[in-house]
Structure 1
């Protein structure tokens, strides 16, 4: 799986697990809602700084966003 798609998949899973909208997550991260949507779709090759912001806002360790599991296919 492409790393941007994998990262975006995990962002969406963690966001939905916390019942957050893309807009709410964007506000928590200090990023734009359309940016979060593009990240979730794997359309953005984001910086590590923004990846860290998203992981912190979701209260998840950053490395967990890059681990592919059987359910990710």
Structure 2
């Protein structure tokens, strides 16, 4: 099995998509890696590694625990699905948003729009 292929899943594409989503939401929230790490009880290097999709494991690819995803989501004040590529559809071999730069840009724009809508709804309540 290739290091990037986890049981007929090209995990590296999902790891990179997760990292891109994480950095997009973190920056939209105006947080540094260190501030986010402090909020969720991780080391800054762990946040950096997740954003870059890297790991010290044999595969070299980040593969966060579900508890880590939830801790990050809570610290960023977003649903965990904002961070998880493919959470709203059937999972393919590769993360769809990693197929083209346009697809990646569309996901980023969608995330920013959802964050803005969340902020507006929060302001009204």
Q: TM-score, normalized by length of structure 1?
A: 0.88
**Matched residue SS, 1:66:** coil
Partner in structure 2 of residue 47 of structure 1: 65
Partner in structure 1 of residue 82 of structure 2: 64
Runs of 4+ in structure 1 over 4 Å off: none
Tell me the matched-pair count: 72
Q: TM-score, normalized by length of structure 2?
A: 0.53
**Matched residue SS, 1:2:** helix
Cα offset for 1:66? 2.2
Stretch moving more, 58-67 or 17-26:
58-67
Counterpart Cα distance in 1 of 2:39 and 2:27:
14
Runs of 5+ unmatched residues, structure 1:
none
CA RMSD of aligned residues (A): 1.7
**CA-to-aligned-CA distance 1:13-48 (integer Å, 9 cap, x gap):** 011001111000000000000000000001121100
**Larger RCO (CA under 8 A, 6+ residues apart):** 1
**Matched residue SS, 2:24:** helix
Counterpart Cα distance in 1 of 2:38 and 2:82:
22
Counterpart Cα distance in 2 of 1:29 and 1:65:
15
